[in-house]
Structure 1
Amino acid sequence: MKFLEVKNLCKEYGNINAVDGVDFFINKKEIFGLLGPNGAGKSTIIGMIIGLINLTKGEIIFEETNNKINGWKENIGLVPQDFALYWDLSAEENIKFFCSLYGFKGEELNRRVERALEFVGLSSVRKKISGQFSGGMKRRLNMACAIAHTPKLIIMDEPTVGIDPQSRNHILNSVKQLRNEGSTIIYTSHYMEEVDDICDRIAIMDHGKIIAEGNSEYLKSLVSDQNIYSITINNKSCDVLECLNSITGVEKVVVNDNEIKCSYLKESNVIEQIVSNLSKRNIIIENIKNETPSLETVFLSLTGKKLRD
Structure 2
Amino acid sequence: MASASSPTVWRRWLAFELVRLRQRARLEQRDVARELRCSVAKISYYETAERPVVVRDLDEVLLPLYRVPRERWPTYLQAARDSRQKGWWERYDAVTLPGWFSLFVGLEQGASVIRVYEAQLVPGLLQTREYAEAVSRSGTAERTDEEVARHVELRMTRQAVLDRDPDPLRLWVMLDEAVLRRVVGSPALMAEQLRHLAAMAQRPKVTIQVMPYSGGAYPGMTGRFQILDFPWPSDPGLAYVEHRAGSLYLEEPNEISAHSVAFEHMSANALSPSESLTLIADAAEEFA
- Please say whether Structure 1 and Structure 2 have the same fold, judged by a TM-score greater than 0.5: no
Structure with the largest fraction of strand? 1
Q: Larger C-alpha radius of gyration, 1 or 2?
A: 1
Q: Name the TM-score, length of structure 2 as normaliser.
A: 0.31
